[in-house]
Amino acid sequence: MKKYVIERDIPGAGKMTPAELNGASKKSREALASMGSKVQWVQSYVTDDKLYCVYLAHNEEEIRNHAKAAGVPATRISQVKTIIDPLNGN
């Protein structure tokens, strides 16, 4: 599977309560479960007005199908080409 970063425009995301975030997470997990193992959620980062989510999937269409099933936007989907970090970067 390929790794993707999904940018989701969600105004006020950073002000969501833990209960609201949990509800959104539950909805996403339910959508994933209905898709079988086609898509895997790795983690998400919440900022003021966006979520940046890391997913594993075979293709971008699977990501879009998940977003539709979960009722969340997928404003921009970018396939990760490589990863660098302080240990492997030059």
| Residue 50 or 85, more confident | 50
35 pLDDT above the threshold of 70: yes
Is 31 domain-assigned?
A: yes
Q: How far is Cα 88 from Cα 42, in angstroms, rounded to an integer?
A: 21
Q: Report the length, in residues, of the chain.
A: 90
Give the residues across from 50 on adjacent strands: 9
The amino acid sitting at 38 is: K
- pLDDT bucket at 90, cuts 50 / 70 / 90: low
Is 87 domain-assigned?
A: no
Read off the CATH number of the domain in which 58 is found: 3.30.70.3090
Query: What is the pLDDT of the chain when averaged over all its residues?
Result: 94
38 pLDDT above the threshold of 90: no
pLDDT in tens, 42-54: 999 999 999 999 9
Number of domains in the chain: 1
Residue-range definition of the domain harbouring residue 11? 2-79
Is 6 domain-assigned?
A: yes
Q: How far is Cα 50 from Cα 28, in angstroms, rounded to an integer?
A: 16
How far is C-alpha 64 from the chain's CA centre? 10
- The conformation of residue 28, written as its DSSP 8-state character, comes to H
Q: For position 87, what pLDDT does the model report?
A: 86
Is 85 domain-assigned?
A: no
Give the residues across from 45 on adjacent strands: 52
